[in-house]
Structure 1
Amino acid sequence: MVLEDLKKEHPDAISVIRLNGMLHSDDNCATKEIARQLCLEHQLSFSKMASSDDNTEFIIDMLRECGLAHKTILFILEEFDLFAQGKQRLLYSLLDAMQSLTSQAVVIGVSCRLDADQLLEKRVRSRFSHRKLLFVPSSLEDTQRLVEHLLILANDSGLPAKYIMDYNSRLTNIFSDKKFKGILNSLMDADATTSNILRFLFRAVSYMDMESGFLSMESFVKALSSMQRQPKMDSLQDLSILELYILVCMHRLEDKEQSSYNFTSIMKEYRSIQDAYKTSDKYTSTVCFRAFEHLLDRELISFGDNRGRNQALEYRPVKLLVSSRELAQSLKLNTTCPAVLQKLFDRERYM
């Protein structure tokens, strides 16, 4: 909002270049994106075929020209800590170019890591101003005051006075309930940002009882539940018994500290379970391999590395992408899950 106000106040004096470490942590990619945005900002033609050195030279020239024209360039680097990985050539180039007397540029790094500046190399850190702003998450009390401010109806809202009184009275009772404070705590543990609070309230209002026109505790419970829903958990609940067996076998192999395993290793573990527990859930290797491929497609498991691409799938190392907690919860929620799987998973009691 501050930047938008500045751009409105000085439309011809400020240029904003935005990068994100999730997308542009590679130096070549970052310099290309900066060059593209600078060309777009100054209505210049951008060459996709330009080399990294050409783009770097162009950026330095633009910094010099903008400085002479008394125009400021703001570089906003989201996920700043990701730019601090590797050789940090981009950071060094930007900060070094800013040492020039003619340069009018600012680099703003945004990160959730408190030690992001400590990740910088010595040569980069020496050019860093070390000005830091720390934004502390809102307290539970502040968040509750915000929620009350947004949901409580004003007397001059144009609605019937009796409805306003009843609506606000019900909300006040909800706000004073310990269960509501627990809901807010759970919400803030995951994401305490204002935007997330607003999304939560929007969902709560969407669960309002349309007949009575009032919010209830159930509205907030449903809103929290919908925000905590994870796609991975939804995928786990749709798995077949065989696929659950494969995941449990992989989990057991990891518990045995087996650093590398493949489909063949998983099948050995599966056969040992069949022999030990004499279960009726027996499947052929072909069927098991199809289930294994399905888990790969759903990204619940993945290959351990990119090496061995020429190997047959059953011999390539794999790894589990599901946590113990997620797997335990999926076994518990799956109504068709055999009891033996629960026993196999609970290693403290049954291994």
Structure 2
Amino acid sequence: MSKRKSKETSSVNGECISQVQRILRERFCHQCPNGKLFGVQLQYKHLLELLKRTTIHGESNSALIIGPRGSGKTTLLNHVLKELMEIKQVRENLLQVHLNGLLQTNDKIALKEITRQLQMENVVGDKVFGSFAENLAFLLDALKKGDRDSSCPVLFILDEFDLFVHHKNQTLLYNLFDISQSAQTPVTVIGLTCRQDILELLEKRVKSRFSHRQIYLMNSFDFKQYLRIFKEQLYLPAEFLYKPFIQKWNKNVQSLSEDRTVQDLLQNHFHCSKDLRSLHMLLMLALSSITVSHPFMTGSDLLEASRLCRMDSKANIVHGLSVLEICLIIAMKHLNDVYEGEPFNFQMVYNEFQKFIQRKAHSMYNFEKPVVMKAFEHLLQLELIKPIEGLPVRAQREYLLMKLLLDNNQIMDALQVYPNCPTDVKQWATSSLSWL
């Protein structure tokens, strides 16, 4: 009987941990509909009032939400739309069109997507438009025929707005802003961008039709608020299924936030980036260590997660190189030290490598020149070295000037953990002599 009870307890614990991970992962990936906004209450109120004027009172408008990546532009808009959709009148009438500059790469593709999202294919029937202009004329005519009292409001959301600016003649933007200034179908255009100079990129005729409403998100919170965000992101909600577990988990989160080591770690993270997505990445990695046998997050989990976050991608590539390729990188390092960062070519690297072989008298490193060239080209493909821009490329491959994209610290750190690295190669890397 006791074994059976123990088995049941174990299964409950497993289910409990699964639920914890599901809830927190949804929150960290911004898939939680009840997620919180941090430090953007004024912007939230501004955007909400703006969209209410369109959806309830039939006013047309346009605005830009501007802020660095990860500042919460999309999250802010999603929260505002969620609150709007709780109003019955809005839920039944509002039409939304979502465009993205990365997907709709020209006005023709964007227009097809608008037609699809507005379900206007049925209106078109079997009619085939001959050109982009005819498609646009049909769409504009359909939008202009309405009036603010009887027409459904239309909300255009343009993500990566700055990419739409590069479309030919900015035709789509011109027409959308033009409609948003008219007193016909209520239309609001909301653009999301990380470009601070976005207005300078607009053509004069487009800029004149834009309302010049700009909502800035700048991640202005201090470390004290950042620490509070850290706790709130980890706290389990009151409606969590396993009630006894909530108190233990939340108490553990509180003690983590008071731990000096964790605070120092978070402070370093905060100074590197206020981007909440980087905090979510840190917490996501720490959460992956939670298991039935290790049910609570620890400072060690956060330290390991921080190490993974800061892991140097280029140094990781070095770990997978052959000994020959490592030798070429060390030769480049010595050339950089001697010539103070001046560009080098393959022949210079080869000569430096040959001097190392002669000094060590090792047949194991004695590769034919074409083999060494192949290894050099592989480093180029991996983008550990790159050609100097602006120089003529007619020169022979051996004499094309290159630049090393690794610094000395990256090279030495990578060598420390390189598996089975020959001792003499390590000694050559640490030597200040170049044998030129």
Could you state the TM-score of these two structures normalised by the residue count of structure 2? 0.60
Separation in 2 of the partners of 1:235 and 1:61? 54
| Paired position in structure 2 for 1:76 | 158
Secondary structure of 2:215's match?
A: coil
Deviations 1:2-23 (A, max 9, x none): 3456578346542313123x55
Separation in 2 of the partners of 1:178 and 1:278? 51
Q: Which residue of 43, 62, 65 corresponds with 2:139?
A: 62
Q: Does 1:278 align with 2:388?
A: no
Q: Which residue of 122, 130, 140 corresponds with 2:223?
A: 140
What is the letter of the counterpart of residue 379 of structure 2?
L
Deviations 1:318-345 (A, max 9, x none): 665556664454345436252323446x
What is the letter of the counterpart of residue 292 of structure 1?
F
Separation in 2 of the partners of 1:6 and 1:243? 59
Secondary structure of 1:74's match?
A: strand
What is the letter of the counterpart of residue 139 of structure 2?
M
| Contact 2:346–2:376 under 8 Å retained in 1 | no
Deviations 1:18-50 (A, max 9, x none): 123x555xxxx321330231232125299xxx9
What is the letter of the counterpart of residue 146 of structure 1?
I
Secondary structure of 1:76's match?
A: strand
Q: Does 1:242 align with 2:327?
A: no
What is the letter of the counterpart of residue 111 of structure 2?
A
In structure 2, relative to structure 1, the CA distance for the partners of 1:289 and 1:269 (3 Å cut) is closer
| Paired position in structure 2 for 1:339 | 427
| Paired position in structure 2 for 1:222 | 304
Q: Which residue of 67, 79, 97 corresponds with 1:16?
A: 97
| Paired position in structure 2 for 1:112 | 194
In structure 2, relative to structure 1, the CA distance for the partners of 1:93 and 1:325 (3 Å cut) is farther
Secondary structure of 2:131's match?
A: helix
Secondary structure of 2:99's match?
A: strand
Separation in 1 of the partners of 2:393 and 2:342? 24
| Paired position in structure 1 for 2:106 | 30
Q: How much does 1:292 deviate?
A: 2.5
Q: How much does 1:239 deviate?
A: 1.3
Secondary structure of 1:271's match?
A: helix
Separation in 1 of the partners of 2:173 and 2:214? 18
Alignment of 1:78-93 (within 5 A): 78=160, 80-84=161-165, 89=168, 91=170, 93=172
> Taking CA–CA contacts closer than 8 Å with sequence separation of 6 or more, which of the two structures ends up with the larger relative contact order?
2
Q: How much does 1:82 deviate?
A: 4.6
In structure 2, relative to structure 1, the CA distance for the partners of 1:331 and 1:212 (3 Å cut) is closer
Q: Which residue of 249, 267, 270 corresponds with 1:185?
A: 267
Deviations 1:53-80 (A, max 9, x none): 93355235413422324342504131x4
Could you state the TM-score of these two structures normalised by the residue count of structure 1? 0.71
In structure 2, relative to structure 1, the CA distance for the partners of 1:268 and 1:153 (3 Å cut) is closer
Separation in 2 of the partners of 1:324 and 1:14? 56
Of stretches 244-253 and 62-71 in structure 1, the one that deviates more from structure 2 is: 244-253
Secondary structure of 1:236's match?
A: helix
| Contact 1:200–1:223 under 8 Å retained in 2 | yes
Separation in 2 of the partners of 1:58 and 1:238? 53
What is the letter of the counterpart of residue 272 of structure 1?
E
Deviations 1:277-300 (A, max 9, x none): 835444321221221333344344
What is the letter of the counterpart of residue 257 of structure 2?
F
| Contact 2:386–2:405 under 8 Å retained in 1 | yes
In structure 2, relative to structure 1, the CA distance for the partners of 1:114 and 1:298 (3 Å cut) is same
| Contact 2:385–2:403 under 8 Å retained in 1 | yes
| Contact 2:289–2:301 under 8 Å retained in 1 | yes
Separation in 1 of the partners of 2:192 and 2:174? 16
What is the letter of the counterpart of residue 197 of structure 1?
L
In structure 2, relative to structure 1, the CA distance for the partners of 1:35 and 1:315 (3 Å cut) is farther
| Paired position in structure 2 for 1:266 | 346
